[in-house]
Amino acid sequence: MEKGEKKVIAVTGTPGTGKTTFSKVFSDGLDYRLIDLNELIERDGIYELDSDGTKVVNSQDLQNSFKKHMSGKSGNFVVDGLLSHLLLPAQLEKLVVLRTKPSVLKKRLESRNYHEEKIRENMEAEALGVILQEAVANHGTENVYEIDTTQNSPSETVNLFKKALAGGRSLKPGSIDWLEEFYFGSG
Ligand code: ADP
């Protein structure tokens, strides 16, 4: 690898879809270093709090902060972060969007003691595929990988991604749809 050359895989998804778990399992044993995007946002203070305490980050501030952080670094990186799809296409090679059936997401967020309203908000965002839409709008479909973590274990999910990386294109975005289950209670 040339000096200053880097490869960045970003992992995004609604809270509870498994970003942190996926990033750790993926980088474990591979030559990838982990970057916690939330930590970077905290450290650089590039957020404001909205009325319910959610951090709001301007995408340009995020891109600048990431650029500064990566300057002079080389190697392979996995970026764990709910806002990682707001990075510029030139700042990453691959973008993984994790998805989880809203009813299962609910259980994961309940076990983290999220407030009822926050759980509902995240279930709705996941049902509508908000992050996937933003990811594809910003990065196109070519480098975006959509992976369902509802039933697969973390290592199975990571293996699916590794296979997709190694052997042509699979996990194309657009195959997951929770609307039926979420709004009509079936599917
Ligand atoms: P996030 O970073 O998206 O908020 P976490 O990784 O912190 O999510 O938590 C996700 C939870 O879901 C963990 O308890 C993890 O064990 C569980 N989980 C179940 N299946 C998977 C999977 N296939 N991939 C990642 N996490 C999973």
pTM here is 0.95
Confidence of residue 1 (pLDDT cuts 50, 70, 90): low
Give the E-state strand segments of the chain in sequence order.
6-13, 32-36, 48-49, 55-56, 75-80, 94-99, 144-148
Cβ 149 under 6 angstroms from ligand 1: yes
Q: 171 vs 28, 37, 50, 99, CA distance in Å?
A: 22, 24, 34, 12
187 has a pLDDT exceeding 70: no
185 CB-side CA count, 13 A: 0
Amino acid at the residue 150 = T
pLDDT of residue 2: 60
Which residue in 92, 76, 79 sits closest to 5, CA to CA?
Answer: 76
Radius of gyration of the chain (CA): 16
The whole-angstrom separation of Cα 117 and Cα 110 is 11
Q: pLDDT digit string (tens) for 176-186?
A: 999 888 888 86
pLDDT reading at 74 higher than 80:
yes
- Residue 79 φ/ψ, nearest 5 degrees: -105, 115
Angle, CA 99 vertex, CA 56 and CA 83 arms, to 5° = 20
Nearest by Cα to 18 from 128, 118, 109: 109
| Ligand 1 close to Cβ of residue 101 (< 6 A) | no
Residue closest via CA to ligand 1's atom 8 equals: 18
Q: How far is the CA of 22 from the centre of ligand 1 (A)?
A: 7
Q: 133-158 burial by CB neighbour count: b if 16+ within 10 A, else e?
A: ebbbeebeeebbbbbbbbeeeeeebb
What mean pLDDT comes out for the span 125-151?
96
pLDDT at residue 3, as a whole number = 61
Distance of alpha carbon 1 from alpha carbon 96, whole angstroms: 23
The answer to whether the beta carbons of residues 125 and 132 sit under 8 Å apart is no
* Residue of the CA atom closest to atom 7 of ligand 1: 20
Would you state the pLDDT for residue 12?
98
Mean pLDDT of 111-129: 95
From atom 27 of ligand 1, which residue's Cα is the shortest distance away?
A: 18
Q: Per DSSP, what are the bridge partners of residue 36?
A: 80
Task: Tell me the mean pLDDT in the region 13-27.
Answer: 98
Atom of ligand 1 nearest to the CA of 15: 4
Structure tokens at 57: 């980050």
Query: Whose CA is closest to atom 5 on ligand 1?
Result: 18
Which of 21, 37, 101, 161 maximizes ligand 1 atoms within 8 Å of its Cβ, making it the mutation to test the pocket?
21
- Which atom of ligand 1 is nearest the CA belonging to 22? 25
pLDDT in tens, 91-102: 999 999 999 999
Cβ of residue 100 lying under 6 Å from some atom of ligand 1: no
Could you identify the atom of ligand 1 that is nearest to the CA of residue 152?
23
Please state the φ and ψ torsions of residue 75, each to the nearest 5 degrees.
120, -165
